[in-house]
Amino acid sequence: MHIIPAIDIIDGKCVRLTEGDYTQKKVYNEDPLEVAMEFEAHGIRRLHLVDLDGAKAQHIVNHKVLQRIATHTNLQIDFGGGLKANEDVRIAFESGARQVTGGTVAVKNPELFLGWLVQYGPERIILGADVKEGKIAVSGWQEQSELELFAFLEDYIQKSIQYSICTDISKDGRLEGTALELYKDITARFPELKLIASGGVTTIQEVQDLKEAGCYGAIIGKAIYEGHIQLEALKGFL
């Protein structure tokens, strides 16, 4: 299973939110590159980089941060947040992203999202499936759609999606545990999907549980920044 630390960006700084609430923001480092380089120094090979300013602005904002990290590390970067137009995706890839994640656009403009799948290939496009009470949330989690999670995933799998990041918003940033049963249900129903679990991962045991559940990857954020999971302890999964 792939270990994928998260760096969320607001005003060019490394931050974490709680349940996606911009008013519950904590700055962990003024320079995200320092954080990324520390991850790489511990053997981490992948990074989930989220442009929270972009998510709110509805277009890419922090591509310079992406470019700096891509230039100064060898991390394979998945970039998301604010990718709402072809130009946003072009900038993200030209700035060094290996993959991009689209969530809101997959709900509100599926034709555009499917166009990215065709243009760049399913190995470079990740479906963002952010869920609250069983339904897909969009627009930086500020808005809830009527789309049911499993129907949403099934539809896009039929359209050749290979990767999906699924975040249970109620768990995100709370350090109270991950939505293990949800991920078990998803991997059982869609074994062909490369599922990346996100939100609430708090302990090494949970990382092991997600691996045993068949998850392709696990995104870990606040648990690393708050010291609940030590980077050294993750080496057994790398």
Selecting among 78, 130, 172, 209, the annotated active-site residue is 130
- Which has the closest alpha carbon to 15: 23, 113, 118, 98? 23
Comparing CA positions, the residue from 189, 220, 121 lying closest to residue 161 is: 121
Residue 60 CB neighbours (<10 A): 26
Q: Is 130 a catalytic residue?
A: yes
One-letter amino acid of 237:
F
DSSP letter, residue 82: S
Of 8, 51, 78, 172, the active-site residue reads: 8
155 catalytic, yes or no? Answer: no
Which residues make Cβ contacts (< 8 Å) with residue 227, sequence separation at least 6?
Answer: none
Backbone angle region of 160, left / alpha / beta, with phi > 0 → left and psi within -120 to 50 → alpha: left
CA angle 167, 184, 77 (to 5 degrees): 40
Query: Residues with catalytic annotation?
Result: 8, 130
